[in-house]
Amino acid sequence: MKELYNDKFTSVDDIQQRFEAAQYICSEQIATCVYIAHNLQKPVMVEGPAGVGKTELAKTTAQILEVPLVRLQCYEGLDESKALYEWKYAKQLLYTQLLKDKLSELLEGATGLEQSMERIHSHDDLFFSETFLEPRPLYKALHEELGCVLLIDEVDKSDPEFEAFLLEVLSEFQVSIPELGTIKAKIKPLVFLTSNNSREMSDALKRRCLHLYVPYPDEKLESRILSSRVPELSETLRKEVVSFVQQVRELDLKKVPSISETIDWAKTLLLLHSEQLESPMVKQTLNVLLKFETDIDAMGDHLRTFISKAHKRSER
Amino acid sequence: MQQTLEDFYKVIRAAGIKVSPSDTIETSRTVALVGYSDRDILRNAFQVSLAKSETEQNLVAECFDQFFSFDTFSAANDPRSDNTAEGNDAINDQQAATSEQNEVPQAQSELAKMLLEGDTASLATEMKKAAREVGLTDIWFFTQKSLYAQKIMQKMGLRDLQNDIAAMGKGDCPSSIAQAGELRNAKEYLSESVKDFVEQQLSMYGRNATRNLREDHLKSSKLSNVEQRDFHVMHDLVRKMAKRLSTQYSKKKKQDKRGQLDFRKTLRSNVAYDGVMFETYWKTKYIDKPRLLVMCDISGSVQAYARFLLLFLHSLNDVMQRIDSYVFTGNLISVKDIFEAYPVEQAIDKIMTDHGMGGSDYGTTLLDLDDQCMDDIDNKTTVLILGDARNNSLAPRTEVMQTLHLRAKRVIWLNPEPATFWNAGDSVMHKYKPYCHMAKTCNTLDHLERMLDDLLKAATSGT
């Protein structure tokens, strides 16, 4: 394990190469963004359709920098007690029960209410100390000795209140716990926020982040990604698969297939030992690529033309 | 370079992207980090740090390409490009000739020399320098174009050039007269280029100003006066407004009073009562969406407004889920299906041709409403009526309005006529008015927006 910022990226190219070595093919824009984020220690807001590798980007970055990845999955109703910290109520109760005798020992000899209170006062901080604190992802991320990559996944699913709470964390990298005071990050974590744009994030949050939009990849990039992720795939089939998926994306679908689906499909075809895209095979495996019955139906008419185009493309 | 960056921020702002001072600081740091050596990386860096959404990213890229282009004074525009070599030779010959005859007046000014030599690179630099000196980045409107072009020409030394031309034209040496002609052509070409340049800059810096001006104008002009050609702009405006209103108010959540008990929260808040659960918290939350029933008059008397009211209705339909839309002249007709099936302009045309025109009959319409929808109207529904209440002297059927008033959460009447006309002629507004929670004049987009803002605020605040 190394410290987060010890390992500097020297250039944008350097990032691209190291990501490629870790089997993540990134466009120049992604690389530039990571380069800036790491050097200026700024959070990155990654937006884009589902399955284009937003989460993967954070994971790979952590892997390359050799720091732990702390992940916070957001959902409706997520609040501080689940994201930051919570007191271990049960443990606190248990301890007070168990230590009852000790408490009476402590109070021995004290006369009057005031004196007893004072004695307890001198010890009550014990019950609100880190022993009784249940750390949650954000707290963990701030406490990491060597820094970490913090992934706040699907931040658009969280409530506006939580978003407001994130502001303090992202700009100052510190949080306030009433009983303990302000806790500052030992080393600023590298933060990735991902969003599917199901709701518009507030300007205040956006302002604090670098904004990265990851679109569906173009043919060249997708082909490279596929060859890195599914290296066993023959070159002709790879070209055909990519060309086919690219054509499918042009259609008006409910859920357009993304890279993860392309990879899954390629693996499926590999498993079924196909050498070439063939109509019956494609039809049977289409459910890997498309996730809605209506989408599969909509494909029906185009299937043949898409396959023949894909064949032509791979011959070129 | 700082100056260039600041100019670039100006362009970005003009394109409608909000760039705060802290953004500019961060971006400058970013640029310092990545450097200027690689154009693509620089563009990416700008995109990543200035844009806040996908559309803004594209805008930034567009602005970047426009701003950092160096194609003014390109060879294609050069009048002498087709015979450059010859032309230059000719000039050289002339210059050789003129230097032989020493008394002949020569081109004195810097500008004239550059023009004669066809030194486009330094001309472009000079022009940019002049542009900065006259503050071209402050250009806003197309009417300022020739003013700025003139200013830039002056700064570049137009007067000296003219003096040169005059002096050279006066002499009787043929070569210098020819050169004067050459210079005159070059001057024309220069002024064309400067105009082009100013125009290009205007398209960058003035983009937003012109649009804002037009939009402001549209917002406050009477809906009946807005012309057909502005329909698209209007459509965008209305859509934006409807969207803003609905996102602002549809996200409000309320704690439900039943369902699964939020044990943790309940326990914690009841510690003060020694664990006896006085205050309960529930896990389920529901989104409190206002339910809206809109009736829009499309009869002949409000024809001029009807298109825009329908436009607004359509936009609302797009962004709100719980909305019932009706139009009426004599009968109440649901248009929800039409709105869903057709794009906006077609839908409006279809409604106007199928159901429009004719005199309005508010009485029958209200009876229809009583018949068809009264059961669905409850204390969460807001009823919005758009119309002028000109009933063509038919029975007004105020008793339905009375029931409506009792049942619905709010009844709102928006009348395109000013309040002074409300009781004149066949208007029965005064009869309906007591049964409305709110009755107001509404004939500009501004009115509409303010009204709807009030409406939705009231609908969600639970008053």
Q: Same domain for A112 and A247?
A: no
Cβ count within 10 A of residue A214: 22
* Listed residue (A316, A314, A307) closest to A236, CA to CA: A314
- Total domains in chain A come to 3
Half-sphere exposure for B156 (CA within 13 Å, toward CB):
30
Q: Same domain for A239 and A181?
A: no
Lookup result for tokens 């209440």: B389
* Listed residue (A144, A143, A145, A150) closest to A58, CA to CA: A150
Q: Same domain for A239 and A104?
A: no
Q: What is chain B's alpha carbon radius of gyration, rounded to the nearest angstrom? A: 34
CA distance B60 to B57: 5
Q: Same domain for A52 and A106?
A: no
CB A29 to CB B48 under 8 A?
A: yes
Rounded to a whole number, what is the distance in angstroms from the first to the last CA of chain B? 57
B41: contact with A, CB 8 A cutoff: yes
Average pLDDT over residues A191-197: 88
CB pairs under 8 A between A and B: 64
Strands A133-135 and A181-184: unpaired
Q: Where are the beta strands (DSSP E) in B196-303?
A: 253-255, 285-287, 291-297
Half-sphere exposure for B294 (CA within 13 Å, toward CB):
24
A18 contacts A24 by C-beta, under 8 angstroms: no
A137 contacts A150 by C-beta, under 8 angstroms: yes
- Judged by CB atoms within 8 Å, which residues 262-321 of B form the interface with A? 264, 267, 283, 285
Q: In Å, how far from its chain's centre is CA B423? A: 38
Residues 6+ apart with CB under 8 A from B135: none
In a domain, A4, yes or no: no
Query: Phi/psi zone of residue B96: left (φ > 0), alpha (ψ -120 to 50 degrees), beta?
Result: alpha
DSSP secondary structure code for residue B321 in this structure: S
Position B18: which residue type?
A: K
Question: Which secondary-structure segment (H or E) carries A310?
Answer: helix A303-315
CA distance B202 to B142: 7
Q: Same domain for A307 and A245?
A: yes
Q: Same domain for A121 and A269?
A: no
A184 contacts A171 by C-beta, under 8 angstroms: no
CA distance A62 to A38: 11
Instruction: List chain A residues with CB under 8 Å of B33.
Output: 35-36, 39-40
Measured in angstroms, the CA of B15 and the nearest CA of chain A are apart by 18
Q: Same domain for A68 and A144?
A: yes
In a domain, A37, yes or no: yes
Query: Which residue, of A173, A188, A213, is where some domain finishes?
Result: A213
Q: Same domain for A253 and A110?
A: no
Q: Same domain for A197 and A247?
A: no
B47: contact with A, CB 8 A cutoff: yes
CATH number of the domain residue A33 falls in: 3.40.50.300
Residues spanned by the domain of A303: 219-311
B50 contacts B12 by C-beta, under 8 angstroms: yes
Query: Which residue, of A132, A165, A195, is where some domain finishes?
Result: A132
DSSP secondary structure code for residue B81 in this structure: G
**What pLDDT does B246 receive?**
64
**What pLDDT does B97 receive?**
41
CA distance B173 to B99: 12
CA distance B161 to B194: 15
The two tokens of residue A102 are 């000790």
Position A263: which residue type?
A: I
In a domain, A259, yes or no: yes
Cβ count within 10 A of residue A310: 24
A180 contacts A128 by C-beta, under 8 angstroms: yes
In a domain, A1, yes or no: no
Q: Same domain for A224 and A294?
A: yes
CA distance B132 to B123: 14
B18: contact with A, CB 8 A cutoff: yes
Q: What 3-state class would DSSP assign to A40?
A: helix
CB A207 to CB B49 under 8 A?
A: no
Write down the ipTM of this complex.
Answer: 0.76
In a domain, A148, yes or no: yes
* Listed residue (B364, B376, B377) closest to B328, CA to CA: B364
Best A44, A196, A210, A212 member to test B by mutation, with max B CBs in 10 Å, is A210
pLDDT bucket at A46, cuts 50 / 70 / 90? very high
Torsion sign, CA atoms B363, B369, B375, B381: negative
CB B48 to CB A211 under 8 A?
A: yes
Measured in angstroms, the CA of A250 and the nearest CA of chain B are apart by 19
Per-residue pLDDT of chain B (463 residues; tens, 9 = 90+): 778 888 888 888 887 788 888 888 888 888 888 888 888 888 888 888 888 888 888 888 888 888 887 555 544 344 443 444 444 444 444 444 444 444 455 666 777 777 777 777 788 788 878 887 887 777 777 777 788 888 888 888 888 888 888 887 777 777 778 888 888 888 888 888 888 888 877 777 776 666 677 677 766 666 666 666 666 777 777 777 776 666 655 555 566 667 777 777 787 777 777 777 777 887 776 666 667 888 888 887 777 777 777 877 777 776 666 788 888 888 888 888 888 788 777 888 888 888 777 777 888 888 888 888 888 887 778 888 888 888 888 888 888 888 888 888 888 888 888 888 887 788 888 888 888 888 888 777 777 777 767 766 665 554 3
Residue A191 has pLDDT above 90, yes or no: yes
CA distance A147 to A68: 8
Question: Would you kindly state where each structural domain of chain B is located, as residue ranges?
Answer: 2-67, 75-209, 240-252+288-461
DSSP secondary structure code for residue B136 in this structure: G
Q: Same domain for A33 and A144?
A: yes
Instruction: List chain A residues with CB under 8 Å of B247.
Output: 200
With an 8 Å Cβ cutoff, the interface of chain A facing chain B consists of 12, 28-29, 32-33, 35-36, 39-40, 42, 47, 76-77, 81, 89, 159-160, 199-200, 203, 206-207, 210-213, 215
Instruction: List chain B residues with CB under 8 Å of A210.
Output: 48-49
Q: Which of B20, B48, B251 sits opposite A32 (nearest CB)?
A: B48
CB A199 to CB B251 under 8 A?
A: yes
CATH fold, domain B240-252+288-461, is: Rossmann fold (3.40.50)
Q: Same domain for A170 and A283?
A: no
Q: Where are the beta strands (DSSP E) in B227-346?
A: 253-255, 285-287, 291-297, 323-328, 332-334
Strands A149-153 and A190-195: parallel
Query: Which residue, of A213, A244, A277, is where some domain finishes?
Result: A213
Residue A302 has pLDDT above 70, yes or no: yes
* Bridge partners for A161 per DSSP: none
Strands A69-73 and A149-153: parallel
B15 contacts B21 by C-beta, under 8 angstroms: no
